[in-house]
A = this chain, B = another copy of it.
Amino acid sequence: MTQLEKQLIEWRRDFHQYPELGFLEMRTATIVADILEGLGYELEIGKAVMDPDYCMGKPSEEETKQHLEWARANGAVEKYLGLVSEGYTGIVATLDTGKSGPTVAYRVDMDALPIVEATGDDHVPVKEDFRSTNDNMHACGHDVHTTIGLGLATKLMENKDQLKGKMKLIFQPAEEGTRGARSMVEAGVVSDVDYFVASHIGTGVPHDHFVAANNGFLATSKMDVTFKGRSSHAGGNPEEGKNAMLAAANAVINLNAIPRHSGGATRINVGELHAGSGRNIIADHAALKIETRGETSDINDYVKSQAEAVIEGAAKMYGVTPHIELVGEGESADCSLEVAEVLKDIAEQEGLSSDLRSDASAGSEDATFFINAVQKHGGQGTYCIFGTELAAGHHNEKFDINEDSMPHAVNILFESAKALGEK
């Protein structure tokens, strides 16, 4: 095992033990920043690379402050903590080769999930003593992604003279819930990028296999909706209430009744509903968690706008006030096959089998905002997947990967930087 391979495992297991939720990746981000600065990268951190107006579903100030204390107590690098203390935890690290050439960007994500990790001895992180130290878990592999990003950073800097153009490494917060990417796009992070590569580990792709262009992400919108009414005694003065629960119940049913779309698949779900405060009181508030999806961004926009009409109409029926907060959003995207072919060739040279593209339906991702932004100004972008063995599916408490897949991932991305720099 090379020194870098050992280092990758060490990094990954460290991040795995200290998982942080979206917009709270303070320990992770400050350690990442410290390593990158040590390697010689030029860094931009926090609001410099994130537009606060487009951060969706950000935790409250209170939660953010509490987490800051946790991060400080658990190994965050104090030097950078001021820059991320309000929860703007994105980082862009740049390496300018000084030689003319394109700008090539790589995105990795850093956040974890609110899942309690498994405790059985058959779970490798337990057996090898790197289980999560809190109630969150890297159950989607973003610890691995951050590690791959640092491995790539190391190799790029070590082999700087083989490169041309400019390299940008984007460490994104809050991919879970598709909440963080857009704020980095709106801050202009990829406005100068010619080639863009996002990547993910696992997702069902077999070990030693590679997918160069993963299309099929469903566009999605996540919304938190509240209805504010007026309470009254249900026995004494029912006519004085403004029943938020009735508005919410109508919204739930009619959201599900939004017409299908002939252009492709749609999804709508109200996953949570809480209303009312006592058996004999007309409910004066109701809160819903909603999610729409569409096979394309246009189709999702259709569902979303229908949903807004349903919510407003339901509120109007009962004289209550609706409030819709967008707490996450992802687009569909169509990967650039030219970049994908470069990646596929490299993967095959690396000894992996590979697919140029996959169009199978594939959940949602906000890397699509980067890809679409880059393509819009004439650049190219793709989303690739490194196969690995999974101990259990993503978002499962027993999720785990085969760490052997990490060096392959670092090599493929490094070689792509070399190759794309020549373009």
Contacts and interface: CB of A to CB of B under 8 A. Distances in A.
Interface of A: 218, 220, 222, 234-239, 241, 243, 245-246, 248-250, 252-254, 256-257, 259-263, 265-283, 286, 289-291, 293, 302, 309-310, 312-319, 361, 363-364
Contacts of A248: 249, 273
Nearest to A275: B273
Nearest to A299: B239
A265 B259 CA distance: 12
A177 to B, nearest CB: 8
Main secondary structure of the interface of A (DSSP, over half): mixed
Nearest to A238: B259
Contacts of A250: 249-250, 253-254, 317
B271 A274 contact: no
B259 A243 contact: yes
Given A270-B283, A280-B291, A316-B316, 19 more contacts: A235-B267, A235-B363, A238-B259, A238-B261, A238-B262, A238-B267, A239-B259, A243-B259, A245-B273, A249-B273, A260-B260, A269-B282, A271-B283, A272-B276, A272-B283, A274-B274, A309-B318, A312-B317, A317-B317
B271 A234 contact: yes
B275 A279 contact: no
A123 to B, nearest CB: 23
A317 B235 CA distance: 23
20 contacts: A222-B279, A234-B271, A235-B269, A235-B293, A236-B262, A238-B261, A239-B259, A239-B260, A239-B261, A243-B259, A246-B252, A249-B253, A256-B257, A271-B279, A271-B280, A271-B283, A273-B273, A309-B319, A313-B313, A316-B316
A151 to B, nearest CB: 32
A286 B220 CA distance: 25
Top 3 A-B pairs, shortest CB-CB distance: A313-B317, A234-B269, A313-B316
A384 to B, nearest CB: 22
A253 to B, nearest CB: 5
Given A245-B252, A316-B309, A317-B313, A364 B273 contact: no
B246 A256 contact: yes
A291 B234 contact: yes
Contact of A253 (B235, B241, B257, B277): B257
A264 B281 CA distance: 20
Contacts of A315: 313
A230 to B, nearest CB: 12
A299 B249 CA distance: 26
B271 A277 contact: yes
A272 B277 contact: yes
A287 to B, nearest CB: 10
Contacts of A256: 243, 246, 256-257, 259
Contact of A249 (B249, B261, B269): B249
Contacts of A291: 234-235, 279-280
Nearest to A281: B271
Contact of A278 (B234, B238, B272): B272
Given A253-B254, A271-B234, A313-B313, A239 B279 contact: no
